[in-house]
């Protein structure tokens, strides 16, 4: 018996995927972070940051937690703050989905929407962070988790990696990890380094994200990628593989069709990152993919045929498996 909802954060299952790429000669495993109670991997850093704040006295019952997030971190914090009876203001932008706004409110969070992108950069992220800084300076007893810089974000993922390593009895040859704040990537890399494990890590980033360099560009799929380089970023943590919005959609659709696993866009990107480099993966290797969140929050986008057609045209032939799509010309499928 566990006590309280926060006690069931972590301990997510690792499942073997046998259908997605049936002809490979290495083993593929998925860490289903969607099965955290708040629906994503962000339950871990949210709890880690809030708990550390409480234990060190930075957070008291009078504290007002203020964070910028249009997605999973906001929901993770909303859940933790709700449990601890803390006031939480979540700063979002107009791109936040109605469902996420309603979920935040259902947990009792206050939703503060910035209407305009930052005048200088044209980015909403910068505008949200400026708004957080303003609220912090004007609201008494405020506490900013600052997920892009807070080491308790990455420390939370020592646990993620520990679970994976223990389940596979120390043999993790490859790790594929979607990236935004770099919390997951850095936490897993720190754990592997501390335990002298030689796992090869691939950071899966969005095309148009600036985390690993390159120009910023508009992106459709939320979750992974960032328009700023997070303070948690460190060079040499991993090799970067970039995936497009289209690849995220295709990866998600293939995954649900082949494995009956419904996940968010960044997980689809992780699937396609493996496909990009699968020829280079050693036979007999254990290859782990972290799936950060669940698919229900993407029903209006990734899993909507109308939305997909509007943005990418008719690409339904791409849902076929890697092997099938190689044999099947678009016009005939």
Ligand X SMILES: Cc1ncc(COP(=O)(O)O)c(C=O)c1O
Pick out residues in 93-122 that bind ligand X (CB under 6 A).
Answer: none
Binding track, positions 247-286, relative to ligand X; x by CB under 6 A: -----------------x-x--------------------
Query: How are beta strands 27-32 and 14-17 bridged, if at all?
Result: antiparallel
Structure token pair of residue 45: 């850093």
Pick out residues in 204-223 that bind ligand X (CB under 6 A).
Answer: 223
Q: Which is nearer to ligand X, 68 or 184 (CB)?
A: 184
φ and ψ at residue 203, rounded to 5 degrees: -90, 125
Q: Which is nearer to ligand X, 72 or 199 (CB)?
A: 72
Counting Cα atoms < 13 Å in the Cβ hemisphere of 202 gives 26
Q: Which is nearer to ligand X, 180 or 320 (CB)?
A: 180
Shortest approach of ligand X to residue 307 CB, angstroms?
17
φ and ψ at residue 311, rounded to 5 degrees: -90, -30
Q: Which is nearer to ligand X, 72 or 227 (CB)?
A: 72
Shortest approach of ligand X to residue 297 CB, angstroms?
9
**Rounded Cα distance, 307 and 299, in Å:** 10
Q: Which is nearer to ligand X, 183 or 251 (CB)?
A: 183
Pick out residues in 120-149 that bind ligand X (CB under 6 A).
Answer: none
DSSP 264: -
Contact 120, 151 (CB under 8 A): no
Neighbours of 86 (CB within 10 A): 21
Shortest approach of ligand X to residue 186 CB, angstroms?
8
Pick out residues in 152-191 that bind ligand X (CB under 6 A).
Answer: 178-185
Residue nearest to ligand X (CB): 223
Q: Which is nearer to ligand X, 69 or 258 (CB)?
A: 69
Q: Which is nearer to ligand X, 30 or 185 (CB)?
A: 185
Contact 252, 260 (CB under 8 A): no
Q: How many residues does the structure list for the chain?
A: 333
Shortest approach of ligand X to residue 62 CB, angstroms?
28
Structure token pair of residue 200: 């090869």
Binding track, positions 34-73, relative to ligand X; x by CB under 6 A: ------x-x----------------------------xxx
Beta bridge partners of 68: 91
Neighbours of 88 (CB within 10 A): 26
SS3 content of the chain, % helix, strand, coil (to 5): 45, 15, 40
User: Per CB under 6 A, does 293 bind ligand X?
Assistant: yes
Contact 223, 205 (CB under 8 A): no
User: Which one among 224, 242, 253, 254 touches ligand X, defined by CB under 6 A?
Assistant: 224
Shortest approach of ligand X to residue 242 CB, angstroms?
14
φ and ψ at residue 176, rounded to 5 degrees: -115, 125
With CA atoms as reference, report the closest residue to 242 among 178, 151, 175.
178
Q: Which is nearer to ligand X, 79 or 266 (CB)?
A: 266
Shortest approach of ligand X to residue 85 CB, angstroms?
25
List contacts with ligand X (CB under 6 A): 40, 42, 71-73, 178-185, 223-224, 264, 266, 292-293
């Amino acid at each position: 018996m566990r006590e309280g909802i926060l006690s069931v954060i972590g301990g997510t299952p690792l499942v073997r995927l046998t259908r997605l790429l049936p002809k490979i000669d290495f083993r593929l495993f998925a860490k289903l972070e969607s099965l955290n109670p708040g629906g994503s991997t962000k339950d871990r850093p949210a709890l880690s940051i809030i708990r550390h704040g409480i234990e060190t006295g930075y957070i008291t019952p009078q504290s007002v937690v203020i964070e910028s997030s249009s997605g999973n971190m906001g929901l993770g914090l909303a859940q933790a703050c709700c449990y601890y009876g803390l006031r939480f203001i979540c700063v979002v932008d107009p791109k936040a989905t109605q469902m996420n706004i309603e979920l935040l409110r259902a947990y009792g969070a206050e939703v503060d929407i910035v209407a305009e992108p930052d005048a200088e950069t044209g980015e909403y992220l910068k505008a949200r962070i400026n708004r957080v800084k303003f609220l912090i300076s004007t609201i008494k007893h405020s506490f900013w988790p600052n997920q892009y810089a807070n080491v308790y974000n990455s420390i939370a993922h020592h646990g993620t990696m520990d679970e994976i390593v223990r389940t596979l009895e120390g043999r993790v040859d490859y790790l594929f990890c979607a990236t935004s704040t770099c919390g997951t990537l850095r936490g897993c890399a720190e754990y592997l380094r501390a335990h002298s494990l030689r796992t090869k890590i691939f950071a899966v980033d969005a095309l148009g994200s600036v985390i690993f360099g390159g120009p910023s560009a508009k992106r459709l799929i939320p979750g992974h990628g960032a328009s700023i380089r997070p303070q948690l970023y460190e060079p040499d943590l991993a090799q970067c593989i970039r995936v497009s919005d289209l690849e995220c959609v295709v990866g998600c659709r293939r995954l649900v069709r082949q494995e009956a696993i419904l996940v968010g866009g960044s997980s689809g990107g992780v699937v396609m990152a493996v496909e990009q480099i699968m020829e280079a993966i050693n036979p007999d290797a254990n290859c782990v993919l972290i799936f950060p969140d669940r698919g229900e929050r993407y029903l209006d986008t990734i899993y909507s045929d109308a939305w997909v057609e509007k943005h990418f045209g008719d690409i339904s032939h791409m849902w076929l498996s890697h092997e099938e799509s190689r044999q099947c010309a678009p016009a005939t499928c």
